[in-house]
Amino acid sequence: MTLQERAPFVTKQKPCQLRYMTVPDENSDSFKVINTVDMTYGAACFTMEFGNCIARKGWNGSDMFVCKQVTSTLDSSIIAGMISLPKSAKDLLLATSLEPIRYENQMILVKNSKTGVRIINSWVASSSDTFAKDWYIVNKI
């Protein structure tokens, strides 16, 4: 059974905060309940497998969060029309016979800028983020 088939059941404690979540136990066919507030980075990352967005209480901005991009496959017709790649990158990708291109295991940071524009950047956890125990699941910003 895949993780998607064993999707978690979520109980809301407050409108803007998920408190507990039932997830598959990786060591058995049963489920376990985890606390979704004040989590370790490892626990928070695990919840991203179910499509959750995560953030830290210790971050400077309350309007930013991290999520795992959905794995996707692109064929050459999509690559040719991508406006987010420079022409030289598209030419290099299309010059090879390797197709399709697969995006996987990428995390992004989503935040609001001072001008009101939402900005999305690639993201990798710092050592402070990795060892923090103030991670939580975001369901409202």
DSSP string covering the chain? --TTTTPPEEEEEETTEEEEEEEE-TTSSSEEEEE-SSB-HHHHHHHHTTT-EEEETTSS-TTEEEEEPPPEEE-HHHHHT-SSS-HHHHHHHHHSS---EEE-S-EEEEEE-TTS-EEEEE----HHHHH-S-EEEES--
Higher pLDDT, 128 or 63: 128
Please report whether residue 4 resides in a domain. yes
Whether 91 is in a domain gets the answer no
Whole-angstrom distance, CA of residue 80 vs CA of residue 89: 10
Identify whether 78 is part of a domain. Answer: no
Q: What is the rounded average pLDDT of the residues 12-21?
A: 45
With a pLDDT cut of 90, the percent of the chain lying above it is: 21
Please state, in angstroms and rounded to a whole number, the distance separating the CA atoms of residues 68 and 12.
22
Residue 10: what pLDDT? 39
Domain-embedded: residue 45: yes
| Residue 33 is assigned to a structural domain of this protein | yes
pLDDT tens for 73-105 read 888 888 888 888 899 988 888 887 676 788 888
pLDDT at position 127 over 50: yes
The answer to whether 5 and 23 are in contact (CB under 8 A) is no
75 in any annotated domain: no
Question: What is the rounded average pLDDT of the residues 38-67?
Answer: 87
Does residue 24 register a pLDDT over 70?
no
Q: Quick check: is 35 in a domain?
A: yes
Asked whether residue 50 is assigned to any structural domain, the reply reads yes
Q: Does residue 8 surpass a pLDDT of 50?
A: no
Report yes or no on whether pTM surpasses 0.85.
no
Work out the number of other CB atoms within 10 angstroms of the CB of residue 54.
Answer: 22
Domain count, the chain: 1
Residue 21 — very low, low, confident or very high, per pLDDT cuts 50/70/90? low
Per the structure, the complete domain to which residue 49 belongs is given by 1-62+124-141
- What integer pLDDT is reported at residue 109 of this predicted model? 92
